[in-house]
């Protein structure tokens, strides 16, 4: 039961932060790409890389921290379903350039962010 609560607390906090970033991005966005989702996903990827690196190098860290921060917070903060829905919207509207830029950019930059986060813990 403790593990479920940790994941739920982390997920709730991550979802709230993602919502706030999305709202903030709407004020400064050019409406060409969904920058709120992109920002949350890239920051979440960077944070997951940092946490994976930190937990890998510090084996004494309890599994509860991993559940709270990686599974919960980062899982709630990042959003594959919204990313997929936004891409579906690009396809429906025939905006294939934005679809390709957003999809390829998100995946490649996300992987690079995890890698850089992991390197930051060395």
Q: How confident is the model at residue 51 (pLDDT cuts 50, 70, 90)?
A: very high
Q: What is the average pLDDT value for the chain, to the nearest integer?
A: 94
pLDDT at 60: 82
Span 32-41, mean pLDDT? 91
* Distance, CA of 52 to CA of 56 (rounded, Å): 6
Q: What is the pTM of this model?
A: 0.91
76 is in an annotated binding site: no
Span 21-39, mean pLDDT? 85
Span 99-107, mean pLDDT? 96
Span 82-88, mean pLDDT? 96
103 is in an annotated binding site: no
């Amino acid at each position: 039961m403790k593990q479920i609560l940790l994941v739920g607390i982390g997920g709730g906090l991550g979802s709230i932060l993602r919502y706030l970033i999305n709202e903030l991005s709407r004020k400064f966005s050019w409406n060409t790409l969904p920058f709120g989702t992109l920002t949350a996903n890239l920051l979440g990827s960077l944070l997951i890389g940092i946490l994976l690196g930190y937990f890998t190098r510090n084996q004494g860290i309890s599994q509860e921290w991993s559940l709270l921060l990686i599974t919960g917070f980062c899982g709630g903060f990042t959003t594959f379903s919204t990313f997929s829905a936004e891409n579906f919207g690009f396809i429906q509207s025939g905006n294939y350039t934005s679809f390709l830029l957003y999809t390829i950019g998100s995946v490649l930059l996300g992987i690079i962010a995890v890698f850089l986060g992991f390197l930051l813990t060395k």
